[in-house]
Amino acid sequence: MKPNLPLTLLGAALLAVPAVFGQATSGVMGFSNVTCPVGTSVIVPSLVNANVFQGQAAISPDGLTITPATAPGWTVGAYNATAFAAPTRNYPKFYAEIVSGASEGLVLDISSNTTTALTMASAVSPSGLRGTTVQIAIRAHVTLDSIIAGATGLSAYADSVNVYNSNGSTSTRIFDGASWVDEGGSNPAGHTVIYPGTGLVCSMTNPVTFTFMGEVKPTKTQIPMFAGAINIVAPLNPASSTLLYNNTSLVAALGDPYAAGINRFSADGQMVIVGSNFSDGSSMTDSSGTPLAPGATDAIETNRGVVISVAGDAVWTVNSPLAP
């Protein structure tokens, strides 16, 4: 039975310099715009922050520490998570990402750091990675505060966003004129994290244009999707939409035939479902279960995203838009 589920072009590119062990590197940098009209709409930031470190690193046997092969000389606490007093919720500020090998694209949140090692927010998973050496990059998380840099049209205490959590809960964040506060209207929330390839729902009283700025992600992205949660997801591609036809990576992520489904929404502020899609286990289909034809225009629009419902936790591994 099939489930019933509840911009602009990249600008100002800067070509990469070759990666050097243990150093930060800059890739293709730019910006991408998306406008949220009056009403409700879905957005997914399409760029990431440039890395601040890249190099080989060893994961401890318990998965709680990652240590670069060559001492990096970090400043103690440079990558620490936020440390607000209760009841303000804290978030990681940085993550280590595996950038090569079978686990390329895996995001690992950082809790703190010394001059030589990272302490992780939780034990590295999958457990098979523990006790191994991997290539990592460290990046600052994209947050609600970072996506409003350069935004226009926001109205204090009138505009809000919903962020959907992996446990099925919803976090509402309200724009206060300079940053964001939580549902109660007083606790800071601008540090709320937007993980790579995930998004949020905006509720706007006037048209708002967000200008996403950063790096075109040069490696694969692992986008987790959770059963019982609202998963707003999209490939990190700031320049073009992603067709669903022949999208083999998405078919693989959705698993068993018709066990998961996709809703695509209008971008007019009404957030009306404009199309639904499924996987039959070998190809993407339309809402009736008919495989999409080569000319099908069903797509995930740039900076917009779709809502995916999954029967069990899953991971969609998406190639970089820079991949040949």
pLDDT digits (tens, 9 = 90+) for 264-307: 999 999 999 999 999 999 999 999 999 999 999 999 999 999 99
pLDDT greater than 50 at residue 251? yes
pLDDT digits (tens, 9 = 90+) for 176-188: 999 999 999 999 9
Overall average pLDDT of the 147-152 stretch: 95
| pLDDT score for 5 | 34
CB 57 within 8 A of CB 137: no
pLDDT digits (tens, 9 = 90+) for 33-63: 999 999 999 999 999 999 999 999 999 999 9
β pairing state of 193-194 and 160-164 = unpaired
Q: CA 313: distance to chain centroid? A: 16
Concatenate the DSSP letters of all residues of 127-170 into one string: GGGTT-EEEEEEEEPEEHHHHTTT-B---TTT-EEEEE-TTS-E
pLDDT greater than 50 at residue 6? no
| pLDDT score for 26 | 58
- Separation between Cα atoms, residue 204 and residue 158, nearest integer Å: 7
- Separation between Cα atoms, residue 77 and residue 300, nearest integer Å: 38
Overall average pLDDT of the 79-93 stretch: 97
Per-residue confidence at 174, pLDDT binned at 50, 70, 90? very high
CB 113 within 8 A of CB 79: yes
Overall average pLDDT of the 310-322 stretch: 96
Concatenate the DSSP letters of all residues of 7-50 into one string: -----S--PPPPP-TTS----SEEEEEEEE-SEEEEE----BPP
Helix (H) or strand (E) holding 172: strand 170-175
User: Rg of the Cα trace of the chain?
Assistant: 20
pLDDT greater than 50 at residue 223? yes
pLDDT digits (tens, 9 = 90+) for 201-221: 999 999 999 999 999 999 999
For the chain, the helix, strand and coil percentages under 3-state DSSP, each to the nearest 5: 5, 35, 60
Chain-wide mean pLDDT for the chain?
A: 92
Overall average pLDDT of the 77-98 stretch: 98
Residue with tokens 């590197």, as numbered in its chain: 25
Q: Which two tokens stand for residue 44?
A: 């997914």
pLDDT greater than 70 at residue 3? no
Higher-confidence residue of 87 and 20: namely 87
| pLDDT score for 9 | 27
In angstroms, the Cα distances linking 101 to 109, 118, 226, 237 are: 19, 21, 24, 21
Overall average pLDDT of the 19-42 stretch: 79
pLDDT greater than 70 at residue 25? no
Higher-confidence residue of 11 and 271: namely 271
In 3-state terms, what secondary structure has residue 176?
coil
| pLDDT score for 112 | 98
| pLDDT score for 27 | 81
| pLDDT score for 66 | 98
- The letter for the amino acid at 217 is K
Overall average pLDDT of the 234-238 stretch: 96
| pLDDT score for 323 | 78
Higher-confidence residue of 324 and 156: namely 156
